[in-house]
Amino acid sequence: MEKVTAKVFRYDPSTDDTYRYETYEVPYEKGMRVLGVLMYIQENVDTSLAFRYSCRRKRCGSCGVLVNGKPRLACMEEAKEEMVIEPLPNLPIVRDLVVETTEYEERIQSISPYLVRKNRPEREPEKLLPNNFTAVRPLNQCIECFSCMSACPVNGLKWEGFSGPATLIQLARRMLDPRDDMDRIPDAGQAGFEHCVACYACVNACPVEIGILEGVIENIKKKYTEKEPSVYGKYNKTWGDLIVKNGLVNPFTLMRKVSTFDKLLSNMVIGIKFFLKGKISLKSQKIPNIDEIRTIQKVIGEKR
């Protein structure tokens, strides 16, 4: 590769009616990053191009952009032969590739993103066993780059009541810290964790490899369902119960047990449609040797 072509989003809300794309050709150097491409353009071709960056090494989280439609840190993403570079989605545009992230910062602020601890430790430095921090350690890597928020389809819909993966990471960071003793369950509920569709888009986008699904969402779900009744909790418990009872999960049975009254009517309409197509089994099928599952469950319960 001798050169790369970058189609870059340009927009100045204070002067332009609408956005446009400018195409630039940039000489390629071994190991070049998208940030290198942007810097070349800003230094040699168009000094008015606006974009954020600081550390150049995935610690500050400033340089988030969309590269060929995917949210990436410009400083880490390899330059490709042809690139379309755009600002992160779903946020007001300041200028060109710079977006206004206040909305996300306010969501984070609302979940008390700091250690809350009523009592001082017995002595300082405290005796802290590293094994107790295994869950929280990867979460502390979060640099608030908002790649996850940009990849999340539910956040992309601006779904009411869902504060997004970045907020949930900041919440879980404290919730799973053994030193924190604030009851963070109400905030978790407010943050709408149950609207996560478990699609792993955030995990795929995270530049510092935080396993957001298992490390954050599932941990929050665990803690929440232990403490507070909720529709999600009922759904989760029913799933488990049906497996132990029958081995397989019959969707009709699941829906029947979980559906709330307000959804009853619409569910009935769908239910009838599905029934007429033969898609509904009213009775749940049991697997042969279902007692094996029950035995396993009993043994596990005893071992705890």
Partner 1 sequence: MKFAYYPGCSPQSTTRELDVVTRKIAKALEIELVNLNGAACCGSVEMRVNDPDLFYAINARTLAMAERQGLDLLTICNTCQLVLAQANQSLKKDGELLDKINQALSEVHVKYSGGVEVKHLLWILLTDVGPERIKGNLKFPLTGLKVAPFYGCHILRPKEALGFDDPDDPKSLEEFIRICGGEPVDFPGKIKCCGFHNLPYDPMLAVTLTGKYLQEASDAGANCMVTPCPLCFTMLDGYQREANQKLGSHVNLPVFHLPQLLGLAMGMGKDELMLKRNMVSTDGILRKIGRV
Partner 2 sequence: MTDVAYKETDVLVIGGGLAGMRAAIEAHDHGAAVLLILKGKLGKMNAGICSYHYAAVGPWGDPDDKNELHLEDVIHSGGYLADQELCKIMIEELKDRVFEFERYGLMWDRKSDGEMDPYLGAGHSKPRTLSTWMRQAGVDMIHGLRSEMRRRKIPLIEDVMATRLLVKDGKVVGATALDYLNGILMGIQAKSVIIATGSHHQVFPVTTSPPEGTGDGVAMAYRAGAELMNMEFGVFISTLAYPSTFKGILVPTLFKVGDETLHLLNSKGERIMQRYDPEHLEMASKDVIARALQTEIKEGRGDGEEGDTLYADLRHLPYEAARQKLSELVFFANKAGIDIKKELIPIRPAAHETLGGIRINKSCESSLPGLYAAGSVVGAIYGNDGIPGRGTGHAIVFGRRAGQFAAQGARKSDRVSIEKVMDQLDDEKMRVFKPMERRSDIRPITVLKKLQHLVGKYFRWAKNEKDLNLGLKEILRIREEQLPQISLSSHTKRFNQEWVKALEVENLIDMAEIMFEAALMRKETRTMYAREDYPDRDDKNWLKHIVVKKQTVGMTLEAVPVKLLYVKPGEED
- Residues at the interface with partner 2 (CB under 8 A): 12-15, 29-33, 35-36, 39-40, 42-43, 46-48, 50, 52-57, 59-62, 75-76, 78, 94-95, 98, 101, 108-109, 112-115, 117, 124-131, 133, 137, 140-141, 143-144, 173-174, 177, 179
CB 67 within 8 Å of CB 78: no
Shortest approach of partner 2 to residue 202 CB, angstroms?
19
In this complex, which beta carbon is closest to partner 2, that of residue 101 or of residue 219?
101
- Choice from 201, 207, 210, 215 touching partner 1 (CB under 8 A): 201
| Residues 52 to 71 in contact with partner 1, rule: CB under 8 A | 69-70
Smallest distance, partner 1 to C-beta of residue 105, A: 25
CA distances 132 to 124, 137, 201, Å, are 18, 9, 28
Which CB, 89 or 113, lies closer to partner 1? Answer: 89
86 residue type, one letter? E
Q: Is 249 among the residues that bind partner 1 (CB under 8 A)?
A: yes
Where helices occur in 157-217 by DSSP H, the ranges are: 165-175, 185-190, 201-205
Minimum CB separation from partner 2 for residue 125, in Å?
A: 5
CB of residue 282 to partner 2, shortest distance in Å: 53
Shortest Cβ 228–partner 1 spacing (Å): 14
Q: Using CA atoms, how far apart are residues 200 and 213, in angstroms rounded to an integer?
A: 6
Phi, psi of 149 (to 5 degrees): -65, -35
Cβ proximity to partner 1: between 111 and 202 the closer is 202
> Is the Cβ of residue 118 or residue 283 nearer to partner 1 in the bound state?
283
The CA-CA-CA angle for residues 236, 220, 166, to 5°, reads 125
CA-to-CA distance for 128 and 131, rounded, in angstroms?
9
Regarding 134 and contact with partner 1 (CB under 8 A), the answer is no
Residue 300 touching partner 1 (CB under 8 A): yes
> What's the min distance (Å) between Cβ of 198 and partner 2?
27
Continuous H helices in 70-164:
102-109, 147-151, 153-156
Q: Is the dihedral of CA 236, 239, 242, 246 positive or negative?
A: negative
| Cβ atoms of 107 and 152 closer than 8 Å | no
Of 157, 176, 180, 272, the residue at the interface with partner 1 (CB under 8 A) is 157
Contact 185, 227 (CB under 8 A): yes
> How many Å is the Cα radius of gyration of the chain?
24
DSSP secondary structure, 5-67, as one string: EEEEEE--TTT-SS-EEEEEEEE--TT-BHHHHHHHIIIII-TT-----SSSSSSS---EEEE
Residue 100 or 292: the one with the smaller Cβ distance to partner 1 is 292
Nearer to partner 1, 17 or 209 (CB): 209
Site mask for partner 1 (CB under 8 A), range 251-270, x = bound: xx-xx--xxx--x--xx--x
Residue 18 interacts, among partner 2, partner 1, none and using kind-specific CB cut-offs from 5 to 8 Å, with none
Q: Whole-angstrom Cα distance, residue 91 to residue 103?
A: 8
Q: Which is nearer to partner 1, 179 or 245 (CB)?
A: 245
Closest CA to 192 of 227, 236, 155: 155
Contact between 137 and partner 1 per CB under 8 A = no
Residues that bind partner 1 (CB under 8 A): 69-70, 153-154, 157, 159, 194-195, 197-201, 203-204, 211, 213-214, 218, 221-222, 225, 231-232, 234-237, 239-240, 242-244, 247-252, 254-255, 258-260, 263, 266-267, 270, 273-274, 277-281, 285, 287-290, 292-293, 295-297, 299-300, 303
